[in-house]
Structure 1
Amino acid sequence: MPTDFEWDPWVGTAAAVAIALIVAAAALALLALVSALVSRRVPWVRELARRVRNAMIATTAVVAIWIAVATTEPAMQTWWPALSRLFLIGTILTGSWLLAAAVSFGFERLISREETLLVGPEARRRRTQLLVIHRLVLVTIAVLALGTVLFTFPEMRAVGTSLLASAGIVSIIAGLAAQSILGNLIAGVQVAFTDAIRVGDVVVVEGEWGRIGEINLSYVVVYIWDERRLVVPCSYFTTTPIETWTRRSDKILGTVYLDLDWRVPMGELRAEFQRIVEASPAWDGRSSSAVVTDAQGGFVTVRLVMSSKDSDDQWTLRCEVREKLMEWLQREHPEALPRTRVDVSPPARDPQP
């Protein structure tokens, strides 16, 4: 029996898109099932699948729709080249997103593995280098993706050819215009690979005590002890002397100075100091001493030196020693506390001739 029904090409396009999305969803579900099975033996596969899930869905959807549309009615239209270019750009961007997510996961795995195998300065050095390489790779992916997108346009290819032809002039202009930016980028790489500073190092920068919290390609963030943040250009660390407390080891010596009266019993003070540090969990047992280093202006200066495994324990130990010795002197030897003496007796008269 004849029929007048005609298949609408646009209905076919919609059906093709729906079928393509269903096939893509089925492929993603199968991939998720495989990753779940593999993760029973390799646990990190589950975390990798979670990290790249959104990027994978976006990339698969764009490619599926592109294939469906390219094989149906829109491919016959005059505006198809422009739409096809949009799909190409979408594929490049989502694919770059997928690649960046996978790379980030890989670097995070490497960093966590290094932290379990290494400790101290070596661990901080490796972590810093991996963080900088990670950022360099992400920037490279972004630049390559942007460059690929731009070169999908014939006009940009012509511009690129012209730029390559005049590379000498362009390099001079770019070098003059971006001297400080490029200098900071180079300094960032230099800071990471010359081992000048590392993430976690204790430093004194611009008179502020803190830890290196972040090393980026162009700047370093110092976490100040009172929760402020000091943002410093990378070039600062290649041109300015800085004080670091954890260059080769976290171990550190600390000093407490006491200005006391000349009547201070040094033997008893030394014994009390030793008792305090030995009872403190912040002392690492390496070194301790109490000596008089100066005596002038009516006071004697007692220097107390003690060691700790790191700067945090050193701060705690110094405060503890200072406070307990102050209380001990007040209680046991108040005569040793500093005092100012003033002679108010009348001056002697000259003998009469």
Structure 2
Amino acid sequence: MFERLNPQNWTINWTAAGEAAFVLVLAIAIAWLIYRIAFALVVKLANKSESPVDNILLRRIRRPIKWSLIAIAITLAAQVDPTLADVWDPLGHFLRPALLGWIAFSLVKAYTAAVELKLDGAADPVAVRSRRTRISILSRTATVAIIVITVGLMLFTIPAVQTIGATLLASAGLAALAVGAAAQPALKSLIAGLQIAITEPLRLGDMVVIDGHTGRVEEIHMAFIIVRTWDERAVVVPTAQVLDESFENWSRSSEVLTGPVFLHLDPATEVGPIRAEVERFVADHDLWDQRTLAVLMTEAYPESIELRISVSARTIGDLWNLRCAVREHMLAWIREEMPDALIRHRLEVPGGHPKAGEPEAP
């Protein structure tokens, strides 16, 4: 295509360039036509299917498949036209890994979206959280691996990078030690993320208590976990901390919990009427799941007693609201029906103090 006349000037073979351009346009047109016909048939077949997974998959891989077909057509055309081959071969070696990585990335995203769509109709919330956690972590791991491999393959198509790679391989021992030491935190987080996906100490949507923060697990990344508290704060917890330290998971197997309500009353209080009122109020409450209801005196001090009211509910949110309702109702009932049960600090002086009436010494 280019002919050297002297060291300073170039001339263009316009005939060869025109033929290469014609072959290029023809190859792209044929590839586009094949793409349109093939996808029209596939879309018709997908529309006949009752599952929406097919449409999700087609929507995700449509663009990478289109450009991959164009790249294949140009590669085949370059074998016919040497002028086009001179231009396309270096560029094709660089683009082919990118297109393959794009297809793999799209397939991972399509699979993730399809599985999440199926989970939306599941009845078991615990199983849904478990699968969402695994999908989230494994899809992120696969995405990172695809990006790293794709970028590496693209860079190794550049001759200068190949030379650098050969030099690094010559000193692989020292390089491995250096990379291992530098990447230790990242590798620890990666392994911790995979362990969480497999062992599932917590999952997306679980109610947990970590470092004194109570909230729902909103996101699980390879390096950190986002816990959303009741006041909408986002607590960032390192992934490795979940495996290294203890924490509370309130919804590990289900959200059915039992919670306490504590009342501190006067030691002279009769517990029987209070127990009867608690049982009457909780039995008529819509949030009680009829599983746990008890009123026990758990402590007795010289100036007070402690009553623990145990109630249960179907979900953590229902349990919180039920406990608040029981606490508010019982305090109001005690103020009206048994005001003497409220704690008062007393000072009894039987017959007066013997020195109260004595005159002061001069």
**TM-score category by the smaller chain?**
0.7 to 0.9
Structure-to-structure mapping, 1:150-169, within 5 angstroms? 150-169=155-174
Structure-to-structure mapping, 1:42-53, within 5 angstroms? 42=49, 43=51, 44-53=53-62
2:354 to 324, 333, 348: 348
Post-superposition offset of 1:193: 1.5
Q: Give the partner amino acid of 2:57.
A: L
CA distance in structure 1 between the aligned counterparts of 2:268 and 2:34, rounded to whole angstroms: 87
Find the counterpart in structure 1 of residue 3 from structure 2.
none
SS at match of 2:288: coil
CA pair 154-76 structure 1, distance change in 2 beyond 3 A: closer
State whether residues 260 and 310 of structure 2, in contact with CA within 8 Å, keep that contact through their aligned partners in structure 1. Answer: yes
Single out whichever of 193-202 and 8-17 deviates more from structure 2: 8-17
CA distance in structure 2 between the aligned counterparts of 1:336 and 1:36, rounded to whole angstroms: 75
Find the counterpart in structure 2 of residue 56 from structure 1.
65
Residue 54 of structure 2 corresponds to residue 39 of structure 1: no
CA distance in structure 2 between the aligned counterparts of 1:163 and 1:280, rounded to whole angstroms: 71
1:75 to 72, 78, 84: 84
Find the counterpart in structure 2 of residue 252 from structure 1.
257
Find the counterpart in structure 2 of residue 278 from structure 1.
283
Q: Give the partner amino acid of 2:187.
A: L
Q: Normalising by structure 1, what TM-score?
A: 0.85
Residue 205 of structure 2 corresponds to residue 200 of structure 1: yes
CA distance in structure 1 between the aligned counterparts of 2:123 and 2:162, rounded to whole angstroms: 48
Identity of aligned residues (%): 30
Post-superposition offset of 1:11: 3.8
Equivalent pairs counted in the alignment come to 343
CA pair 156-326 structure 1, distance change in 2 beyond 3 A: same
Structure-to-structure mapping, 1:256-335, within 5 angstroms? 256-335=261-340
2:35 to 22, 28, 33: 28
CA pair 214-270 structure 1, distance change in 2 beyond 3 A: same
Post-superposition offset of 1:47: 2.0
CA distance in structure 1 between the aligned counterparts of 2:39 and 2:258, rounded to whole angstroms: 55
2:91 to 79, 86, 99: 86
State whether residues 120 and 250 of structure 1, in contact with CA within 8 Å, keep that contact through their aligned partners in structure 2. Answer: no
SS at match of 2:295: strand
For residues 306-337 of structure 1, the C-alpha deviation after alignment (integer angstroms, 9 at most, x for no partner) is: 11223222111111111222222233333323
CA distance in structure 2 between the aligned counterparts of 1:292 and 1:158, rounded to whole angstroms: 79
Find the counterpart in structure 2 of residue 3 from structure 1.
none
Residue 361 of structure 2 corresponds to residue 338 of structure 1: no
CA pair 104-348 structure 1, distance change in 2 beyond 3 A: same
CA distance in structure 1 between the aligned counterparts of 2:285 and 2:36, rounded to whole angstroms: 58
Find the counterpart in structure 2 of residue 18 from structure 1.
25
Q: State the Cα RMSD in Å.
A: 2.9
**Structure 1: which 5+ residue stretches go unaligned?**
1-5
Post-superposition offset of 1:204: 0.3
CA distance in structure 1 between the aligned counterparts of 2:310 and 2:156, rounded to whole angstroms: 66
CA distance in structure 2 between the aligned counterparts of 1:76 and 1:111, rounded to whole angstroms: 44
Q: Give the partner amino acid of 2:250.
A: W
